[in-house]
Amino acid sequence: MISLSRPSIGEAEIEAVADVLRSGWLSTGDVVRKFEEAVAALCRCKYAVACMSGTDALYLALRAQDIGPYDEVIVPSMTFCATVNAVVRTGAMPVFADIDAGTLCLSASSVARALCQGMQVKAVMPVHFGGAPCDVAGALTEFGRDAFLLADGAHALGARAFGGPVARLADATVFSFHPTKNITTGEGGMIVTDDPELAAKVRRLRFHGLDEIRQVVEVGVKSNMPDVLAAIGLAQLPRLQKMNGRRRLRADRYARLLAHVDGVVVPRGPSFNHVHARHLMSVLVDFGLYGLTRKDVVARMASRGVEVGVHYVAVHQHPYYVALYERLHMGVQLPVTEMVSERILSLPLYPDMHDFDVDVVVDAFIEVLRG
């Protein structure tokens, strides 16, 4: 079976974990601090705060900005549900904006329309979809809105835009270190920012809301990353650029081999100067052209030893959010998102893939489509 994704783990990671286990200190300590400093330096940001998931980091960043009930947060619906769930968890209302078909990232014009219509927009949360940098800061500038710009960079560690790290595009950026991501800690996430107050508040909120003298000053959560997980990340980080480079090589090969397959489109990526992190190899497929459903293709690829996935079914089409918007008598008009949601399919992509693996996947894919 060619897996959809697979972490790249070597002896360095194993030894790093063993060193922590031998040290006798397994919870949050010097290894987490070193990992935070290393990620902050990579992102050219002053502060980094590690959490137990990217989802927690998104939620805590919003909490740190006092975003809650009666506030609105502009988000894409074409994302993993964690992005939107983090908003709802604060009590705020997600306001869905549409995406660009070429990048699968938030459309600046759609964000601008949402800003025009929204009365209580306190934050905008672009997603660097699949590792493609998303730049919507212009939409905020145009309307003079003082909205907090929080980027979901779960797919985008190592991506660059306009000559600098992708984290420079937002007030704060959150990365994920889930096993499928560009580097992993097993589980975990991190927020990077230049804002000292935001970093300090997230650091406090991630550990019960305790201040420096161990008094609860607000209700927090338990989301501090332990040293044993940070050790894996520290060992992975020096290989990030090499692993991302291998992802890009495999993605380029996919694009060449699929360029002339009817009904299959490979999103082109941003038009501005950027470096893509290539977390996902997403394609848009006109399944009806071949008389197939997406479920047919997923099942038939599996029967040929290839795992494919769906990233993602649009969040506003999930039962909870359908019911939420119906209760509030709110309509959602996202034509590009809905088209993409119907057609999107993810092909296997991970650093240790070889050209031969890509060729096997593409051959199986074309065979499935053409019957």
Closest CA to 3 of 352, 359, 318: 352
CA 336 to the chain's CA centroid: 19
Contact present, 158 and 241 (Cβ < 8 Å): yes
Contact present, 90 and 349 (Cβ < 8 Å): no
> Which tokens hold the place of 112?
């601008």
Residue the block writes with tokens 């950027």: 274
Contact present, 122 and 100 (Cβ < 8 Å): no
Is 34 a catalytic site residue? no
Distance CA 201, CA 195 (A): 10
Distance CA 220, CA 147 (A): 23
One DSSP character per residue, 57-122 reads HHHHHHHHTT--TT-EEEEESSS-HHHHHHHHHHT-EEEEE-B-TTT-SBPHHHHHHHHHH-SSEE
Task: Considering the candidates 34, 46, 122, 181, report the single residue annotated as catalytic.
Answer: 181
- What would the 3-class secondary structure string for 217-262 be? CCCCCECECCHHHHHHHHHHHHHHHHHHHHHHHHHHHHHHHHCCCC
Which residues are known to be catalytic?
181
